[in-house]
């Protein structure tokens, strides 16, 4: 069933006797304000589409769609619609690896400008998508109010009926707020570049540990953005609820200072000494910056527990965390790898199989709908499990999106910072 509640309010001003006008015809106004009925089930929608295809009134059909908005959801089945005179219309998402082709193609309904796209998702799923009018432009869905900000701007969002938005990213009244410090521009000799860094310190608490845990976060400006990672709010809530101890978080950004270039691909992905993607990659100036330049500079300000030092990142940042877990497990014994892009370094799982020193705890957090990243995450899971590394592994019913990572950051951090 498609569960839609439509509320229509008609506000009538009291008649002014001095104006000499008759009171308005309430019955006539109610007819004007009547909303077209929603589709009660999938069979009714399919029948309405078939009628349009046979030459029925597309405007009347579209009025019904606009009245309830998109997506239309019937159990596990999702229907998306769009009107366009483009030669083709696609719905691209992680299900299509954001590419086109048969998996993304919409179907034109008869000779109209109406296009339809249908898919099945599990009840608790959430997914980003965009409409692509070929060969012209990418669009957010104009009839879908739900959006999730991503690295390339906003995407439209499907929230299935059993999806529960994460409470951890909502700022609550009465929760003591930590401090996200000002932007620091640090000159790195290792990188030959300036690096933007911001340091979070927790709200003061009498029972805080004498030595604080510390969390290093790549893609820092995305993680501290409340519309993307919302990690500052998440940390405040977790600390206030005593789900993690008070800690320091260091947000490291790959954007240049003027935000004209995102250098994450060049920084987060170590370079091979031989040029082969199948052999260990040994050169990582960004890793050297974290370990040798940033860490001493930041940690000289605090009393830090080095056994509770974590590195956290998404995608290429998750890959970078996996690499550091091999190269510097003594420095970063705790790993949070959200959707790690293991395919960029396919040797890493085997590297863990042979490593002499291993991380103390690790999180691997892929999305069930990100086909390009899931196999590598599973190989990494198997390698760490075989070495008996304490591991939190979960395939979120989601894609490669900040809608995914913001929701799973809380349980991930709870796991890595659990009391010993």
Highest mean pLDDT among 29-43, 94-108, 278-292: 94-108
Query: Lowest-confidence range among 71-75, 132-136, 137-141, 274-278?
Result: 274-278
Q: Please name every residue paired with 251 in a beta bridge, in sequence order, or none if there are none.
A: 198, 217
Domain definitions of the chain by residue range: 31-159, 167-416
CA dist 291 → 54, 269, 270, 284 (Å): 67, 16, 14, 11
Each residue of 195-243: pLDDT tens digit?
Answer: 999 999 999 998 899 999 999 999 999 999 999 999 999 999 999 999 9
Record: fold of 31-159: Immunoglobulin-like (2.60.40)
pTM of the full structure: 0.89
Query: Lowest-confidence range among 19-33, 74-88, 178-192?
Result: 19-33
Of all residues in the chain, the percent with pLDDT exceeding 70 is 89
**Gap between the Cα atoms of 137 and 87, Å rounded:** 12
Each residue of 341-380: pLDDT tens digit?
Answer: 999 999 999 999 999 999 999 999 999 999 999 999 999 9
- Which has the closest alpha carbon to 402: 340, 275, 314? 314
What is the second-level CATH architecture of the domain 167-416? 3-Layer(aba) Sandwich (3.40)
Quickly list DSSP for 198-234. Answer: EEEEPPP-TT--SSEEEEEESSHHHHH-TTTT-HHHH
Query: Is 167-416 the same fold as 31-159?
Result: no
């Amino acid at each position: 069933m498609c569960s839609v509640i439509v509320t229509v309010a008609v506000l009538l001003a009291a008649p002014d006797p001095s104006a000499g006008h008759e009171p308005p015809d309430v019955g006539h106004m109610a007819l004007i304000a009547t909303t077209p009925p929603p589709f009660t089930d999938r069979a009714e929608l399919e029948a309405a589409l078939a009628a349009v295809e046979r030459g029925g009134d597309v405007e009347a059909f579209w009025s019904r769609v606009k009245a309830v908005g998109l997506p239309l959801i019937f159990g596990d089945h999702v229907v998306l619609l769009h009107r366009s005179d483009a030669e083709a219309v696609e719905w691209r998402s992680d299900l299509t690896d954001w590419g086109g082709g048969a998996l993304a193609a919409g179907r034109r309904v008869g000779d109209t400008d109406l296009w339809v796209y249908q898919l099945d998702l599990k009840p608790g799923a959430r997914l980003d998508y965009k409409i692509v009018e070929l060969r012209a432009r990418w669009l957010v869905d104009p009839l879908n109010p739900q959006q999730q900000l991503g690295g390339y701007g906003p995407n439209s969002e499907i929230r299935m009926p059993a999806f529960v938005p994460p409470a951890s990213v909502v700022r609550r009244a009465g929760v003591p707020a930590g401090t996200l410090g000002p932007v620091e521009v640090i000159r790195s000799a290792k990188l030959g570049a300036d690096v933007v860094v911001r340091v979070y310190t927790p709200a003061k608490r009498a029972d805080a540990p004498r030595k604080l845990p510390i969390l290093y976060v790549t893609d820092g400006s995305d993680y501290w953005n409340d519309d993307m990672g919302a990690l500052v709010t998440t940390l405040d809530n977790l600390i206030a609820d005593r789900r993690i101890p008070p800690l320091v978080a260091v947000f490291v950004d790959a954007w240049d200072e003027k935000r004209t270039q995102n250098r994450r691909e060049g920084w987060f992905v170590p370079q091979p000494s031989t040029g082969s993607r199948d052999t260990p990659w040994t050169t990582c100036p960004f890793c050297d910056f974290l370990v040798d330049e940033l860490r001493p500079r930041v940690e000289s300000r605090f009393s830090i527990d080095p056994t509770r030092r974590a590195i956290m990142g998404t995608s290429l940042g998750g890959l970078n965390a996996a690499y550091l877990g091999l190269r510097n497990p003594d420095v970063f014994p705790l790993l949070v790898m959200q959707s790690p892009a293991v395919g960029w370094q396919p040797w890493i799982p085997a590297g863990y199989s042979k490593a002499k020193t291993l991380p103390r705890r690790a999180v691997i957090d892929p999305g069930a709908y990100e086909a390009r990243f899931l196999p590598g995450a599973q190989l990494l899971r198997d390698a760490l499990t075989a070495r008996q590394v304490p591991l939190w592994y979960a395939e979120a019913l989601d894609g490669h999106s900040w809608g995914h990572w913001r929701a799973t950051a809380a349980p991930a951090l709870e796991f890595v910072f659990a009391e010993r």
